[in-house]
Chain A
Amino acid sequence: MSAGTRPRPPSRRRFLLVAVLAPLLVAALIAWTDSEYARSLRLQSAAARSFDRERAQVMLLSAMKDAETAQRGYLLTGNAAFLGPYAPARRFVTRLRAVEGVADPEVAALIDTKFAELDRTLALSRAGRREAARAAVADGEGRRVMDRLRAALARAGVSERALTAERRAAFARQRSELRLLLLATGAMLTLALALTLRSLWRSRREAYDAALDAYEKGERNAAILRGTSDALLILNPSGTIEMINDAAGALLGYTPEELERRDVATVLRIAEGSGGFHERIGLDDGRLDRPLLTDRVARHRDGSERHVDVAIGVMRVPSGDHLVLSLRDASERARVERAKDELISTIGHELRTPLTSVVGSLALLRGGAAADLPPQAARLVDIADNNARRLIRLINDLLDIDRIESGQLAMARTPLDLREVVARAALDSDGLARSRDVVLADASAGAPVPVEGDAERLLQVVTNLVSNAIHASPAGATVTIAARVEAGRALIAVEDRGEGVPAAVRPRLFERFESGRAATHAPASGLGLAISREIVRRHDGTIWFEDRDGGGTRFAFALPSPGTEPGDAPASDAPLPLPLLLHLDDDPDVRDTVAAALAGVARVLPAASLAMARALLRDGAPDLALLDMQVVDGHGPELAPELVDASGAPVPVVIYSGQVVPPALAARAAVVLTKGRHDLPELVATVRRLLAERHAPVDA
């Protein structure tokens, strides 16, 4: 299941930019519209003023005419009633000429001249000089003034009308522009509103879709969590149970609700000690790199304790690293293991009975119990017999592995001479060697090689090594078997001139189902070396292999040899093949892995405790010591003062540990390597380098 991408928060800067710019734009639009509207008002009032002036000029001329008509009527008739409109017309003219722009200086002068003429003639008439008044009128001066006034006003009117028309046109133009502007602004605002609404809708829709998706995923995960038969707990970064499924509840005797928000320590002992939860459980220091905690104690509600295996997954989420724990009842695992063992055992034994008939019949045929066989039939019987025996070996190997796993591989240890074991192995393998045209040579020492051991099981180891060596050898080659005492230990070596062990399988050669040989030549189940290693281990010994000079492989194992001291080993014709490396580690898997990785580089003396290491040191100092920090009876570096060679020089120390090494303890170490962080090839390279440096002064 893919984890999906982690969502990113929306960009605040981009949002702020839009949030500032959009109102600014709207404000600018409003300001522009407002200024256009004000301009429109100004144009309108200018046009109105022009029109008013134009009308005032017309009314001015009309009032002048009224005044003139009144004067003429009075002069002609002498009737004062004609003078009635004169005074109002004159007042009206005075008011009109006061209107701005109506009377230019010429018009004003003409008006004044006209009124001066009118006043003069009227004064003459009132003084009884009516003829003089009529003569003054008939003189035509008044009419000419009036004509000039009319002409001046007409000119003014023409230009005023043009101005009015112009202003009206400007106003109309501006109005339609304003209208367009308003429409455009309205359209833009509408568009902006529509976009905003659309974006709002989409954002709400997306939020809804995301929420729905999260809900669906949550429901699905919750359903998986609830429904799975595995017992699961989710712990938050402080070690509190955040979620627990029914299976875990059932295993622990609680309902899920009762355990939620409780500390995991209520039910499970996985994070002891002090400090933060992640520190205690080992998330911070890499202890969870192989996140299976086997055989931990879970506390049931009824107070009883259950043994469980805990697989831990780390869930890295924004609120902190959560842990997903999967609990498996270890008793169930044990039951399944037992059932598997029973099955293997049953099948193994059920197969043996019919094979007994097959092998027995074939052996009798070969032995001539029935009749002498024609050569071709004898050959076929040989083939059948060899393969039936191979089947038996396979079944025996399977049953042995079964015994090893169930801890039932018992050793009946008695004092014996390993040379006899070698002789018997040579005898037993003689047929195989002949069939493959390989010569077997027994190069054992002349002196006894005493060990306390199970003769049958040790024979099985040697026979296995010899069989492997024969199968690895080319035709005509020699396989040498030798038993001797070396440095206080009994040593058996089987040497071949085969193609050697391929690099790819070297580190795992002693694991189950690994066969170092080419498949076509592999005689066995791939279990032989695993069984051999176990048998040797049960004898407190070590088994290893190394490349021989000139090609081929040397498999060897060394056992404690009682009654021999390092000093009285007979002078060996070959020097010790490899430098000695003391490896202290209380984890058997680490010991085996390191021994396999260093095969051919050093002879590894494994020790599980300080006591065991000290016992090994009594036989002589190693060339190099590889020490774990914490072992059952103390700290590896405590050995440092005792790690001196015959000349008193300190033996180089490599600390190889999963724990933090305090500086005081690291001071004595040549190199500090951390398990998990430094891989095996690095360890091997370091060992090689230190061993080379150690021997360098001798070469120089």
Chain B
Amino acid sequence: MSLRLLFVDDDPDIRTIVELALGLDPTIELRVAASAGEALNALAATHPDAALLDVSMPDMDGPALLAALHDRSPGLPVIFMTAHGRERDVAALRVIGARGVIVKPFDPLSLSAQILALLSG
């Protein structure tokens, strides 16, 4: 059974890398959105099992998008990707309901394993 994962990032390079990296794992079915608005549309269309969100995006930042996603789909596991790996940043994201945090730069070859570990943990 495959995992339907919604990935939201405004940076097209990161989107390409994540698409390629997760494309290596056949158990992940990836839906990519370039903005918070796109993500909310995709949520309604695809009913993902989990979401991987960039923290800083122009139209709506990650934490706000998390709130919007949880409004529509309570309990949806959300993982953040951030360049701010300080303990207090990570802790702050956990407090607002993140399942886990992946700190940039990440290793694309072990990205799917990292995501699955965070979701199962």
Contact = CB atoms under 8 A, between A and B. Distances in A.
A, B: real partners: yes
Interface of A: 349-350, 352-353, 355-357, 359-361, 363-364, 367, 369-370, 392, 399, 403, 408, 410, 412
A353 B9 CA distance: 12
Interface string B94-112: 0000000000111111000
Contacts of B13: 357, 361
A370 B24 CA distance: 10
Interface of B: 11, 13-14, 17-18, 20-21, 23-24, 83-88, 104-109
The residue among A349, A355, A399 with the most chain B CB atoms within 10 A of its own CB is A349
A363 B14 contact: no
A352 B84 CA distance: 9
Contact of B11 (A355, A357, A367, A370): A357
25 contacts: A349-B84, A352-B83, A353-B14, A355-B104, A356-B14, A356-B17, A356-B106, A357-B17, A359-B105, A359-B107, A360-B14, A360-B105, A360-B108, A361-B13, A361-B17, A363-B107, A364-B17, A364-B21, A367-B109, A369-B21, A369-B23, A399-B85, A403-B86, A408-B88, A412-B87
Contacts of B104: 352-353, 355-356
A349 B21 CA distance: 22
What's the dominant secondary structure at chain A's contact region?
helix
B106 A369 contact: no
A364 B109 contact: yes
A79 B95 CA distance: 178
A361 B85 CA distance: 21
Contacts of A360: 14, 17-18, 21, 105-106, 108
A335 to B, nearest CB: 20
Contacts of B87: 408, 410, 412
B20 A352 contact: no
Given A357-B14, A360-B14, 18 more contacts: A352-B105, A353-B104, A357-B13, A357-B17, A359-B107, A360-B21, A360-B108, A364-B17, A364-B20, A364-B21, A364-B108, A367-B108, A367-B109, A369-B108, A392-B105, A403-B86, A408-B88, A412-B87
B83 A353 contact: yes
Contacts of B18: 360
Contacts of B86: 399, 403, 408
A356 B105 contact: yes
Contacts of A364: 17, 20-21, 108-109
B105 A369 contact: no
Nearest to B81: A356
Contacts of B20: 364, 369-370
